[in-house]
Amino acid sequence: MSQDEDRSQDRILFHLKTRGPQVAADIGARLDMTPAGARQHLLKLEAAGLVESEDQREGRGRPRKYWRLTQRGHERFPDRHSDLTLDLLQSMRDVFGDDGRERLIEHRERAIVANYRKFVRAQGSLRQKLTALARIRSREGYMASVAKDTRDSFLLVENHCPICAAATACQGLCRSELAVFRAVLGTDVTVERIDHILAGARRCAYRITRRQPG
Q: Is the predicted pLDDT of residue 87 greater than 90, yes or no?
A: no
Q: Name every residue whose Cβ is closer than 8 Å to that of residue 110 and which is 6 or more positions away in sequence.
A: none
CA 158 to CA 175: how far, in whole Å? 15
Q: What whole-number percentage of the chain has pLDDT above 90?
A: 46
Q: Which residues of 177-191 are buried (b: 16+ CB within 10 A; e: fewer)?
A: bebbbbbbbeeebeb
**Predicted pLDDT of residue 207:** 97
Q: Looking only at Cα atoms, what is the longest distance across the chain?
A: 67
State the average pLDDT over residues 145-164. 90
Which one-letter DSSP state was computed for residue 209?
A: E
Indicate if the pLDDT at residue 117 is higher than 60: yes
Comparing CA positions, the residue from 22, 102, 98 lying closest to residue 54 is 22
Within 8 A by CB and 6+ apart from 32, the residues are: none
